[in-house]
Amino acid sequence: MGSAGHFRLTIRDLPSIREVTWIPYRVPLPSSFTSAHEELATRSGVIIEIQTNTGSIGSGECAPLPEFSGGTLQDVLTCLPTLALQLRDQTLPAALKHLAQLHGTLPTTAICGVETAILDALGRHYRCSLATLLALPTLDEAPTTHALELASSQIRHTIAVNTVIGSQTLDAAVERARQAVAQGYSCIKLKVGPQLRQTIELIAAVRTTIGPTVHLRLDANEAWDFELARSILSACEQWAIQYVEQPLPRSDLAGMAALRQAVTIPIAADEVLSDLASARRVLEAEAATIFIIKPQLAGGLRQSQQMIREANARGVQCVITSTIEAGIGVASALHVAAATPQLTLECGLATLPMLADDLIQETLSIQHGHIQVPSTPGLGVHTDPAALTKWRFKEPPSGDN
Ligand SMILES: O=C(O)CCC(=O)c1ccccc1C(=O)O
Ligand SMILES: [Mg+2]
């Protein structure tokens, strides 16, 4: 019995890992997705499955995006056999601790996927959602029933999300914006390119289409230099831009800090955030007003929470976004957002409709610009075996995404 008569499970009762297995996948994006970086026509990654000695299972997803950070698919496939052996026979909390010591030595997406699978199994064991687990003060020991009740009372059950409009012609972007508002989105993110006049016209046209109250954010994906950024953002101050993601190359922290002083539109860091150390450098340089945190690229769910804590302590607000991964990965990011009520800005998690298949049995549907957080134990979504068979990536090419 714990304090105040609350029951606490003993370590002896904790499940341990019997086996870690994985399945690479590749799924098409039927309409492809274009940013200043690239045109994404397929998405590949790895689904992780762990089995425990108590018969419980957990799923996770590693979805590398080499243009950003976090290694390649091949890097993930290379590190998994050793990691699987190391985690074998460890209790779930011990496995989490082990994983946390590997930051900096493994691709961030590998840590994210394996961590998610462990947390999914642990949530199913404690019979609480992954968001509730993430809201606990510690995962080192089994929580009391009181701690679980407190954590579950602190989480959010629905997350507001933005839709994202990829780079395309002005007419197509305006049409997409019109549809988004009709679907009930109250926040739109617009991918922008390196052309001065065209970009300003695009932003003006989209703002005029969506009216004054829908939030509008931009993503330049590093496409601008300082002068271009200053010109475009100064010209757009009248269009009520919520923020602009990564206007300058990730290496230009001084430029980002100077841009913050030169324009009134808030500057968000995205590509530059590749782990906790990079986040600390951005905070130190005062190079961003907002952090765009992708759990896949930040080094996992708890590393994302740590980034959020450190950012918030410095007055920097955070947004959780996906990397256009499949349903397991998006669900894990959704649970981070749910466990973190201080995130009040819309999250970038409305990406599953871009994929031909989300690889899960359930649907994380988007209604009126919100996604419901699954409340059943663990992730609350389950891999779809038929979909994994269909989209299995049989011969991942080495060094390719
Ligand atoms: O933020 C969103 O709404 C969707 C996520 C997104 O835009 C994105 C998806 C994959 C890779 C990079 C990015 C990005 O924010 O730049
Ligand atoms: Mg971005």
The reply to whether ligand 1 has any atom less than 6 angstroms from the CB of 162 is: yes
Check residue 35 and give its pLDDT.
83
pLDDT at position 185 over 60? yes
Å from CA of 228 to ligand 2 middle:
18
Q: Return the amino acid letter for 76.
A: V
How many percent of the chain have pLDDT more than 70? 96
Q: Would you say 326 and 357 are in contact if contact means Cβ atoms under 8 Å apart?
A: yes
Å from CA of 370 to ligand 2 middle:
20
The reply to whether ligand 1 has any atom less than 6 angstroms from the CB of 324 is: yes
If residue 39 lies in a helix (H) or strand (E), which one and from where to where?
strand 39-52
pLDDT at position 140 over 50? yes
pLDDT at position 1 over 90? no
Longest dimension (CA), the chain: 68
Binding residues for Mg(2+): 219, 245, 270
pLDDT at position 9 over 60? no
Shortest-distance Cα residue to atom 12 of ligand 1: 323
Tell me how far apart the alpha carbons of residues 28 and 14 are, in angstroms, rounded to a whole number: 39
Check residue 399 and give its pLDDT.
46
Average pLDDT over residues 359-366: 97
Tell me how far apart the alpha carbons of residues 361 and 342 are, in angstroms, rounded to a whole number: 30
Ligand lying closest to the C-alpha of residue 350? 1
Shortest-distance Cα residue to atom 10 of ligand 1: 323
Q: What is the pLDDT of residues 283-338, one digit of tens each?
A: 999 999 999 999 999 999 999 999 999 999 999 999 999 999 999 999 999 999 99
Which residues, at least 6 apart from 308, have a Cβ–Cβ distance to it below 8 Å? 291, 293, 318, 340, 342, 343
Tell me how far apart the alpha carbons of residues 211 and 201 are, in angstroms, rounded to a whole number: 15
Two tokens at 99?
A: 């994983």
Q: Does domain 3-154 have CATH number 3.30.390.10?
A: yes
For ligand 1, pick from 294, 330, 354, 355 the residue to mutate: most ligand atoms within 8 Å of CB.
Answer: 294
The reply to whether ligand 1 has any atom less than 6 angstroms from the CB of 322 is: yes
**CATH number, span 158-375:** 3.20.20.120
The residue count of the chain comes to 401
Two tokens at 136?
A: 């606990």
Å from CA of 97 to ligand 1 middle:
29
Average pLDDT over residues 70-77: 93
Beta strands in 250-364 (DSSP E): 267-269, 290-293, 317-320
19-28, 36-45, 101-110: the lowest-pLDDT one:
36-45
385/56: higher pLDDT: 385
Where in the chain are the domains? 3-154, 158-375
Shortest-distance Cα residue to atom 3 of ligand 1: 348
Per the annotation, the verdict on 394 as an active-site residue is no
User: Please, how many CA atoms are within 13 Å of residue 171, restricted to the half-sphere of its CB?
Assistant: 0
pLDDT at position 138 over 80? yes
pLDDT at position 398 over 80? no
CA distance from start to end of the chain: 50
pLDDT tier, 39 (very low <50, low <70, confident <90, very high otherwise): confident
Average pLDDT over the chain, rounded to whole?
Answer: 95
Q: Return the amino acid letter for 80.
A: L
270/38: higher pLDDT: 270
Give the ipTM. 0.99
For ligand 1, pick from 224, 297, 322 the residue to mutate: most ligand atoms within 8 Å of CB.
Answer: 322
Catalytic choice (97, 294, 390, 394): 294
Per the annotation, the verdict on 390 as an active-site residue is no
Whether the predicted model's global pTM rises above the 0.90 cut: yes
pLDDT at position 401 over 50? no
